[in-house]
Structure formats: C-alpha cells, structure tokens
Structure 1
Amino acid sequence: MSDLPPAAEWPSVRGLLAELPDDALPRAGRFLARLDPAEVLAAHPATPLVSLYVTGHGTLAALRPALTVELARHGLLAAITLADFDAWVRDLADPGSDLYATLGKADGPAFALAVLGPEIVAAELPLPWRADDAARVLDAKIELIEKLAGTFAATANGATLVLNTLPLPRELTAQLLDRRDRAALGAAWREANARLLRLDRPEVAVVDLDPLLAEGVCARDPRQSVYAKAHLTDDLLAAYAREAAHLARQAAGAAKKVLVLDLDETVWGGVLGEVGPEGVEVAEGYRGEAFTRFQRVVRQLGSQGVLVAAVSKNDPGPVAGVLRDHPGMTLRDGDFVQVRANWRPKHDNLAELAADLNLGADSFVFADDSPFERGLVRRELPGVAVVDLTDEPALHVAALLRDGWFDVPRLTSEDLARPARYREEDARRGFLESFDSLDGYLAELGTEVRLAPAAPAQLDRVSQLTLRTNQFNLTTRRLSPAEVRDLAGDPDARVLAIASADRFGEHGLVGAVLLRRDGGVLRVENFLLSCRVFARGIEQAVLGAVLEHARRSAAREVRAAYRRTAKNGRVAGFYPEAGFATVHADEAGAEFRHDLTRPPEPVPHIRLSADFGGQQP
C-alpha cells in the first residue's frame, strides 16, 4: 500500500494497520513482505523479531504476506523462511535440516509452521477406495506426525512446532455412495484430528481449523489445488496466519491482561443518562438479548483471569445502581476490578487505571462503540489494543474475540485468582492511606515471602512470568514451558519461585529467580517479579537471600545482567543499588558483579524463608 511507510518508519505501521479493514490487509501484507527485516532492525534495534520457518504440503507462498501483516498488527517483525515445495517430512525428520539450522540461529521466539491439508491423505488413497482405506492412511499419517513432533521436541530447543487439523473436503465424502461408509470416513477423519489436537503440548501448538471453517472460510479451491498445488485457499491461510500471530504475540511477551469496556451501547443498550436505569436494553428484546450474550462472554473471560474494568461517560451513581440492582444484568459490580464513571476523557481514565493497577497501558484492550472515543484512545495511548464495536450488538462478541487478546499457552491457578487479588489491592490502598509514611504502612502490612525451588506444577507459571512480565524483568528472556522444564532439570541451574502473602491474603507465585553455577561464579540469569508486588521490598529481600546463599555455598562472586527494553527502565539501577559493581555497560544493557565481601542489608519489614534445594548451584 502506497501509504504504508518504509523500513525507517516501522513504528508507525502498527497504528496504520489498526485503521485498515480486513479486506485491505492482504494488500498491506504484500507491501510489508517486501521490507527487509534487517533494514527494519538497523533502524529500530529494539523491534521484537519472530522467526518463522514455513514448511508443509503444497504451495504456501500466500502465507508470507499473511504472516507478515498479522504479526505487524501486533508490533512484531516477521523473519520468514519458506521451505522447498513439499519438504515437510524431510525438514522435521532430519536434525541437520535447514529447519533446525534456521531455528537454532533465531534470536527471539521461533516457530516451525508445518501447514498440512487433506491432500496428504487423498493423494495416497488406492483406486477404488473405501472408508477403511482412508482410515489406514489417516492412521499412518498421524503416526508419522506424532513421530516428527517427538523429533522436533528433542531437537529444536525453545522453538515451537505449529500443526493444524485437516479439513475434510466434500469432494472426498461425496465419492462414497454408501452412507454408512461415508459416516465411517467422517468418524475416522475426526478421530485423526482429535489425535492431532491431543498433541498440543509445551513444544507443539495445534491450530484447529474447524472453528475457522464454521465461520464461512472456504477451505479449498479446486482450480488452485489442481493447477497451483495450493491445497488450502488464500482466505484459509490468512485466517491461519492470524491464529499463528496470536501464538507469536504470546511468545514475544505481548499478552494483554485487562479488558476495559465502555458501558452505553457496549455493555447495555441505550444511553443511561437519557433513558434511565429502567430504559437500558438488556436481557429482554432482541437487542437486549444481544447485550446479555456479550456480558456472558465478558464474564467468562473474567473467570479465567482477565481483569475487567469499565470506563464510561456517565454519572457514577446511576452506573453503580444498574450494576448492582438491574434484574437483567449478567455483569455485576463485583465482576469489575474498577468502574470509572465520570465525564473526563477516556484516555485519561485509562492512563490512571493503568497506574492504579501498576500495569502498562499496553496490557489493555479497550472496547467501545464510539469511533470518536476509539480514535482518541488510539492516538493518545497507542499501546492500547482497541476493539472496534459497531452499532450492531449481535456482532460485539465476534469483534471482541477475533484477536485472542488474552490467550495463554497454559492457564494456571494464578490466572484464575488474579481478579480477586487485584480487588484486594483496593483494600491495601485504603490501608496505605491511613498511614503518614510508606515505612509505617510496609511495617504493618506483614509481608511474608517464600523462596524455594519451583515445584513441577509451578513451572508453567514461571514460564508465564517470563512471557508476560515486562517491567520488573531484568533480561526479558522469554522462556517456553519446555525451556523452563529443561532449566529446572539442569543440575547446574536452579529455578526458584517467589511466593508472598500479607495481612490481606495470599499473592501466590509472584516472581522467579533463575540461577546458574559456573565454577566459583553464581549467575543470576534472570529475576522477575509481578508488577502487583514490586516496590514493597520483596525484590531486595530475595536478592539478599541469593547473595547470602552464594556466600555460604563458597561462591567467589555473583554475576547478573540487565538487558534494556522500552518497558524495564525502572529497574535499570536495581543491581547497582544492591551493591553490585558494573563490569561493562552500553546502550543494550549492562553486566554486574558482586564480590560478596559486604553482607546485604536486611529488609526489616519482610519475613523471608529461603530454600535453595541443597548447596548447588
């Protein structure tokens, strides 16, 4: 597209794409695919890069622009390698293949996309054939894929293999005239896809194409399939690319945590100030039922750890009354971590809400039916993801869910408890306001910290912290669940979990320290802490315990690194303030050293228990 900028102006691309309708994205993708990622990185070194190796069965050239534009919509730069035609078995089976060599050189999230279509089965059917012939071919193919996935898991350290379910074309089912045979084919095909879906594990992600097909995406064009060997349509590949981009966004640490809703014509029908509490449309009538459907979906998301808030241009009293008393409401005041009803600009309310929650605004998703409000938020807070709702409430759910903003690789118990724990922060803020000094508040808060090797059930949560924590994340090295498990099993390393509680309740697992022993040197490979709890002394107490452990275990020194990002500048001085000397520093970050000659100062208001699981590391 002529109005999209060159490589030097890459930071503006995300905002421009947000304004484009879906039917303009293919053209934008073709333009962006012509940009050299090296040129973008030369102009903007901090741009998050995702490496994708595309292999599979058939012609897949349409995936390059589709993946490029879908990742760019999330601010991610795609480095795409397109494999030779139909090389997927060789690529995945040979540990010395270009696939593994390419992924091994990746600096950042890396994916192998093995894109498969129904032709991998249809091409191997005998003539004539019956349903049991297809079942045998399906069984052999799934066994092969399972074996290849095992090879990938053992070879591609830290990368993710993306597979997909196989669409069942009517062209195959219609060839069987016996309806029982046709039903047997359908059953065998679905059983094969179920086996694929069960492969979804830390090293493997499976994109289920059935929901995309159910939305009307065409799976196959006979002419493209026969003449160009493109066995999946461009439209289906574009939808697949969107799902792959969601995976890439998670791996790059760009997950969203907060859903902020407008209220009038978003959560309920009508303008509250004009129609009054009795006149809002919800639960009854065709529009009211549409708004109730939307509320149910929001509540479902909230039950899985999404923080739900509201920002509305209304007087606070009537809003509170509707949320508390209206008999048709599904969402109630207790479902929101905050409701901001006032007449101030919404972007100001969003910024203050981010400060209250101690989160970056780039972890927010904002949904509003007003083009004016959406445009203003996009301009003033470009990191906020904006959901374009229209005046048709029946389409609200699809608009909210289309980008999988809150998807996570694994939902943890910490996710489920998150909304309740953020609501507890209101009680802590009220408690703080009763003190004249922060020291007095911290002393009475009664913070307890437990530092210990992460249990197997906690490793997914540790991975999630590396993927989602941006502010107190000293290196921002993103680790998949498989990488965390490998690290936990390394005898020279230690994955330590940080849990905390105070007088208001449990915070749960709020941080992690990753250690490695290298002779007489103990290295802090990363230190992470949830934004919910830092600046309360927990980080200093934990680091003090690590230094004391190093001294007692006869380490000569402790080394630690800081890698600068756009979001972790707040902790740039963390190690020097703890007595570390700078070994070297540049624009990218710094390395520090502590000689262990001076014991760390205790943090008087923290009660800490530390278990390092033995003397080493």
Structure 2
Amino acid sequence: MSVPLTTGPGPTDRVEALDRIRNLHSAGHLAEEFPAVPALLAGLAHGPAAPGDLARTGRLLARVDPDRIHALHPDAVPLTVTVSGHGTLDALTGPLTAELARHGIPLRAVLGDHDAWRRDLQDTDGPLYAKNTDLSLVLLDAQIVFDELPLPWRASDAAEAASAKLKLIERLVETYVREGSGTLVLNTLPLLTSQLRQLVDHRSRTELSVLWREFNNGLLRLALAHPRVHVVDLEPLAAESGPVRDSRLAVYTKEHLGGELLGRYAREVAHLARAVHGRTKKVLVVDLDNTLWDGILGDDGPDGIAVSGTYRGEAFGAFQRLVKQLGSQGVLLAVCSKNDQEPVERVLADHPDMVLRPDDFVAITANWRPKDGNLREIAARLNLGTDSLVFADDSPFECGLVASSVPEAAVVRLDEEPALHIDRLLADGWFDTRELTEADRQRAGQYRADAGRRELLDSADTMEEYLQALDVRVAVAPVTEPDVARISQITLRTNQFNLTTRRLQPADVRRLLDSPRHLVLAVRSRDRFGDNGVVGAVFAERDDDGLRIDNVLLSCRVFARGIEQAALGALLAHARDTGAPAAFASYRPTAKNHKMREFYPSLGFETVGETADGALDFRHSLVELPPVPGHVTLDATFPA
C-alpha cells in the first residue's frame, strides 16, 4: 500500500485535507480511499490546530469498519487495542484512530468501563488478555493515589498510599506478563499544582515531589524489567502541551487527563504500534543547503556557508549533532542534494566546522537530477525499499515532489527557521524501536563495507567469480539469550525475504526457545570484507509428521549470496539425520515477498496445497537434499 507520509508546515494543506476527509466521509468512501488518508492527515498533524483537527477526523475514521479496510487493502492490517483506565477516556478514541491512520494502520478499539482498570487487569479472561490484542492500554492519573488519602492528609500519607499503589500495579503487571499475549502500555502520572499546593509548607511540598518522582520511577522500571511492558512518560508530553486537565471536566465528567495531552499520548502509542508492526524507518536522507548548513554552497562557496559562528549557523550545527546522534544508533544516513559531487565531498571532509563527515554517510548523492529518482537509487544501492526512507529538505517543491512520486517514503518538511529543524525531524518518531541491539550500532559500518563488495562485483567477469572471491562463510546455530532482541527485530523489520511475515516480540522468541519442540536458529554471515553479524533466522517445529518450518527470514542486505540455501540445506540435513520422515513449509504472500514464492521449490520442495489468495504449502521428502553452494563455507550446529 502506497502511503504518503509528510510532516511539517502546510497551512493551505490543512483546509484542503479537512475538506477532503469530510467529503470522503459524507460519500461513505473512507474505507475505499484509506491509502490516501495518511497523506491527508499529514497536513493536519502539526501546528496549533493539530489536536482538534486530528480528534475530529479521528472520530470520522473511527466509524469505518477496520475489517472492511483490511479486506479492501490487505496491507492495512488492523491493530487491536484495548483501553482501560481510571478516568473518562472517551476523548482518546479520535486522536488514537487518527494517529494510527497516519501510518496506514486501522484501529480496532475495545473500550473498557469507567474506572475499571484494576478489575480489567485482574480478569485474565477479559479483553486486556484476549489473544488477538496487540496493545493493552491502561491509562492512569494521579487521582488513583489522591482519592485514597485521608482528610486531612500529610506528605507521609501520600507516601504510604503511593507505595501501596505501586506494589498493586507491580502485582497486576506480573499477572499480565504471565497470562497476557500483547504489549501492556502504562504511563507515568503527572503531579498537578492543585495537588501539590494542598500542602502549605515548602518542606512538605518538597517531600511530596520527591516521593512522586520515586513513584513514577518505579513505574518506568517496570518497562525495564518486563519486555512486554511499555511505559509512556507523560511528563515531557505535558511540558509541551496545554494544561494536564481541565479542572471543570475533571470534576463533572471525571476526565482527569486533558484532550491535548491525550492527543500527544496517542501519538506516542502510534510510534509504538509502528514498531510493533515492523514499520520502523531505516534511512535518513538529508538535503544540504539550508538543511545541514546555512547558505548555498554553489553560490556562497565553502567559506560562505555556516555551521557555527552565527546565530543561524549554531542552529544548523545543533541539527548536525542530532543527525550524528541518530546515526550512532543504527539509523543509516545519506545525502541527496542539488549540487556538484566533488565540492560537496570536499566540504564534508575539510570544512572545519562540520560535525558530520563523509564516513557518517552510507551514500552521498549530489547532482542536478530530480530528487525522487535519486532517492530510488539510494534505496536500490542499499538494497532497501523506498518505504525505509525518511527525507528531510527545506524546499517545499522537493518535498512535494517526493511526497507525490515516492509516497511510501516519509517526508519531513523543514523551512527557513533552522531552530525548528530538530523538533520537526523528531516529531514523529520515525526511527523508534523497541530495543536497540549491538547490530543496530554497527549497521552503518556494515553498509559502508558494501562499497568494497560492489567494487569486487564490478571487477568480476561473472557472478560465480564474484561469489567465489567473496569467501562467504555462514554459521547456523541455536539462538541464545544475547541474540533474542536481534532475532525479534529481524521478524519485525524483514519484509522481502519473509516467507510467512509472522511478527515476534522478544517475549515471543523466548517462549519458542523454552519449548522443546521448537527450533529457533540464528543465521550469521561474514566474508572477506567483514562480519555481517546475525542476518537471518529460521523457526521450525518438530511434530509426528516431521519437521515443520514455520518461517525463514533473511536481511535484504545479504541477498543473492547463497546464505539462505546453505542455511535451509543444513536444516533439512538435520531433519533427515534425526529421523524426520519429511519437512513441511508454507509461503504466505504479501505485497513485498512475492520474489520468495519460488524459494522452497528451488530447494526441492513439492507443492501440496494452494489457496485462492496465493498461499502455498510445501513438502520435502528428505531423499535428495539441496547441496550447499560451492562458494559457501558452512558451519551448522543443532541442539542434541
């Protein structure tokens, strides 16, 4: 599904977007036109009117059946979210529906009763624990503590009540982790001035502030202790929004969290949902002139551009530091600029004020061709889809061009105010991930090593000669605890070489590891240019009929090197050697994995079933096994 994703200023877009969404709703066509909705919502997502606009449009979208959207657009997989809490949370549905729709995700919402959060967390047969639930939101506020204080009360009473409440939440979280299947989402509780100032002496207020921070710290630590628990910190969100609540609504309707704060919370949940769906972006592509530096290189020359030393220059320097920070955490950095290549490379290498240097980038593209074509070339060079890209540029024309012709890429619209570049790039959490792995931190270096592989390929007369000279070495072995996060990440992020597209969180991987019937294998590769680390995974299950291969995944970065054939050949040999009568596998088609349709047949599997939607079932007799490619050195280890 092509989903244009843009962020940034666009006041004209706002009016057009509102009218278009209203007209689609009036005509009953929101489901049919759902792929166009993200681009329309992008025009409403930022600026002072954003909270109200998204809440209103979200309420319209919430009236559309998510299953109908999915039937019309198979890639628009609904997210099932259960909502429970303390106060009235009706105002959350609109913003949450809109924020998920911005990323092409329809919302299937299950709303709990008012102030039923404790009962819902205790009821292991209830909606929070349903097997199809993706996210279980339990939205709390400070009144869960203050409603239990005696009258009159002191700071010591608040400390006792907060401690008891934290212990209760910890017990309920342990129950959810043990019995639930989704991700439990909690939040920190903002302390209001109307609560703090009920104590008239400063010492008591200080005691209350300290204990309240300790209480919130205890909530945050739950996310560190349990991989399937996520805690949204409301404090930084409240600092950027209006009042935490409207006091009148808090008294009369029990809405203890205000609409604007709920809107920001909904955006954080949407970032989490995107990570759960495996839609984290991988590459940040930046313009140069008036994006990374102040000035135009072609007009002003190297001495005329600024990254420090002036007010505006300092803002660009801060933006470069942010970009470098993102790059240090596995975000691939690339340049796409209307400039000549040689001056750009010289400035990045030699300008004394540059924070970013050539080695920070996996691709530097400077020419006068249209930027949409350049972005496609950058993605192809990295062996990634264009939906992995985030493009940041200060030119409205370039942003509009990319948004219209490469709609699956995210576009961050910067403008003439460089002090806002950082806020606009970070506003939508494009690179948010559940957990950073060591492989993430090494990713840029691994992609830069691909330059050597390309040079070797260009110098070879044949593909066979190239592969032989590459000296590919593959290791297949059971997954161990240090690999769990990376294996989960592969299931979430890998779309092209993914035979069934099942997505697994770290806790799901651990459950399979604990099952004696399951095989969870990590595939590693290295070659003459370096270690690629964990590049693939194989999931299989032993049963009476034989070995059932649940999924095979391989990073697109190492396609076409024989790694997948070597890994599956080793698995089939293991199945035969351990007495399995046959091996079984399946292929489930998606918009991105169609090239893998022939993978199993190429290894000697025969087709034993096919459905109307193109899904295939296979069987291998284990009589004639596929050979390990001659250019691959294989080391395979299996559990006893």
In which range does the TM-score fall when normalised by the shorter chain? over 0.9
Q: Aligned partners of 2:213 and 2:383: how far apart in 1?
A: 46
Does the 8 Å CA contact 1:118/1:168 hold for their aligned counterparts? yes
Partner of 1:104: 131
Q: How does 1:258-277 map to 2 (within 5 A)?
A: 258-277=283-302
User: How far is the alpha carbon of 1:21 from its aligned partner?
Assistant: 4.3
Task: Give RMSD over aligned pairs.
Answer: 1.1
**Range 578-587 or range 329-338, more displaced:** 578-587
Match of 1:228 among 250, 253, 271: 253
TM-score normalised by L of structure 1? 0.97
Q: Per-residue CA shift, 1:56-99, capped at 9, x if unaligned?
A: 01110111111111011111111011111111111111212232
Aligned: 1:361 with 2:386:
yes
Which residue identity is paired with 2:209? G
Q: How does 1:29-108 map to 2 (within 5 A)?
A: 29-100=58-129, 103-106=130-133
Q: Aligned partners of 1:348 and 1:18: how far apart in 2?
A: 23
Q: Aligned partners of 1:150 and 1:466: how far apart in 2?
A: 26
Partner of 1:612: 638
Q: Aligned partners of 1:81 and 1:189: how far apart in 2?
A: 31
Which residue identity is paired with 1:117? D
Q: Per-residue CA shift, 1:466-501, capped at 9, x if unaligned?
A: 011111111110001100011111110011001110
Aligned: 1:428 with 2:457:
no
Partner of 1:583: 608
User: How far is the alpha carbon of 1:322 from its aligned partner?
Assistant: 1.2
Match of 1:338 among 349, 352, 363: 363
Q: Aligned partners of 1:583 and 1:120: how far apart in 2?
A: 57
Q: How does 1:508-527 map to 2 (within 5 A)?
A: 508-527=533-552
Does the 8 Å CA contact 1:90/1:97 hold for their aligned counterparts? no
SS at match of 2:90: coil
SS at match of 2:319: helix
Q: Per-residue CA shift, 1:518-542, capped at 9, x if unaligned?
A: 1131011111111111211000111
Q: Per-residue CA shift, 1:239-264, capped at 9, x if unaligned?
A: 00000001100111111100000111
Match of 1:163 among 171, 186, 192: 186
Which residue identity is paired with 1:539? E
User: How far is the alpha carbon of 1:2 from its aligned partner?
Assistant: 4.5
Which residue identity is paired with 1:164? N
Which residue identity is paired with 2:110? T
Partner of 1:3: 20
SS at match of 2:354: coil
Q: Aligned partners of 1:530 and 1:351: how far apart in 2?
A: 19
Aligned: 1:314 with 2:339:
yes
User: How far is the alpha carbon of 1:516 from its aligned partner?
Assistant: 0.6
SS at match of 2:549: strand
Q: Aligned partners of 1:351 and 1:64: how far apart in 2?
A: 37
Partner of 1:124: 148
Partner of 1:600: 626
Match of 1:383 among 401, 408, 417: 408
Q: Aligned partners of 1:17 and 1:47: how far apart in 2?
A: 16
Q: How does 1:199-598 map to 2 (within 5 A)?
A: 199-200=222-223, 201-586=226-611, 587-598=613-624
Q: Please identify runs of 4+ aligned residues in structure 1 that moved more than 3 A.
A: none
Q: Aligned partners of 1:40 and 1:216: how far apart in 2?
A: 32
Residues paired across the two proteins, number: 608
User: How far is the alpha carbon of 1:26 from its aligned partner?
Assistant: 2.1
SS at match of 1:3: helix
Match of 1:198 among 202, 221, 246: 221
Q: Aligned partners of 1:426 and 1:600: how far apart in 2?
A: 31
Q: Percent identity?
A: 53
Q: Aligned partners of 1:580 and 1:236: how far apart in 2?
A: 54
Q: Aligned partners of 2:579 and 2:153: how far apart in 1?
A: 71
Q: Aligned partners of 1:314 and 1:254: how far apart in 2?
A: 31
Q: Aligned partners of 1:17 and 1:345: how far apart in 2?
A: 26
Q: Aligned partners of 1:143 and 1:81: how far apart in 2?
A: 27
Aligned: 1:177 with 2:200:
yes
User: How far is the alpha carbon of 1:371 from its aligned partner?
Assistant: 1.0
Q: Per-residue CA shift, 1:95-138, capped at 9, x if unaligned?
A: 122322xx3135xxx01000001111111111111111111111
SS at match of 2:313: helix
Q: Aligned partners of 2:95 and 2:614: how far apart in 1?
A: 31
Q: Per-residue CA shift, 1:195-247, capped at 9, x if unaligned?
A: 11111131100001111122244212101111111100000000000000011
SS at match of 2:32: helix
SS at match of 1:487: helix
Q: Per-residue CA shift, 1:447-484, capped at 9, x if unaligned?
A: 10110001111011000000111111111100011000
Partner of 1:140: 164
Q: Aligned partners of 2:507 and 2:358: how far apart in 1?
A: 39
Partner of 2:4: none
**Range 587-596 or range 356-365, more displaced:** 587-596
User: How far is the alpha carbon of 1:29 from its aligned partner?
Assistant: 1.1
Unaligned runs of 5+ in 2: 1-17, 25-29
Q: Aligned partners of 2:39 and 2:584: how far apart in 1?
A: 40
**Range 208-217 or range 570-579, more displaced:** 208-217
Which residue identity is paired with 1:417? Q
User: How far is the alpha carbon of 1:44 from its aligned partner?
Assistant: 2.1
Does the 8 Å CA contact 1:53/1:82 hold for their aligned counterparts? yes
Does the 8 Å CA contact 2:349/2:358 hold for their aligned counterparts? yes
Does the 8 Å CA contact 1:520/1:554 hold for their aligned counterparts? no
Q: Aligned partners of 2:429 and 2:88: how far apart in 1?
A: 27
Q: Aligned partners of 1:98 and 1:243: how far apart in 2?
A: 22
Partner of 2:56: 27
Q: Aligned partners of 2:100 and 2:608: how far apart in 1?
A: 37
Q: Per-residue CA shift, 1:359-415, capped at 9, x if unaligned?
A: 001011110111111111011111101112121000000101111111111111100
Q: Aligned partners of 2:242 and 2:332: how far apart in 1?
A: 32
Q: Per-residue CA shift, 1:157-215, capped at 9, x if unaligned?
A: 2x100000000100111111111110000000000100111111311000011111222
Which residue identity is paired with 2:253? A
Does the 8 Å CA contact 1:165/1:207 hold for their aligned counterparts? yes
Does the 8 Å CA contact 2:520/2:537 hold for their aligned counterparts? yes
Partner of 1:152: 176
**Range 352-361 or range 121-130, more displaced:** 121-130
Does the 8 Å CA contact 2:604/2:625 hold for their aligned counterparts? no
SS at match of 2:532: strand
Does the 8 Å CA contact 2:67/2:78 hold for their aligned counterparts? no
SS at match of 1:532: helix
Does the 8 Å CA contact 1:52/1:112 hold for their aligned counterparts? yes
SS at match of 2:281: coil
Partner of 2:40: 16
Does the 8 Å CA contact 2:186/2:230 hold for their aligned counterparts? yes
Q: Per-residue CA shift, 1:565-585, capped at 9, x if unaligned?
A: 111111111111111111212
SS at match of 1:8: coil
Q: Aligned partners of 2:136 and 2:119: how far apart in 1?
A: 13
SS at match of 2:108: strand
Q: Per-residue CA shift, 1:546-597, capped at 9, x if unaligned?
A: 1111111110111111111111111111111111111212315211111112
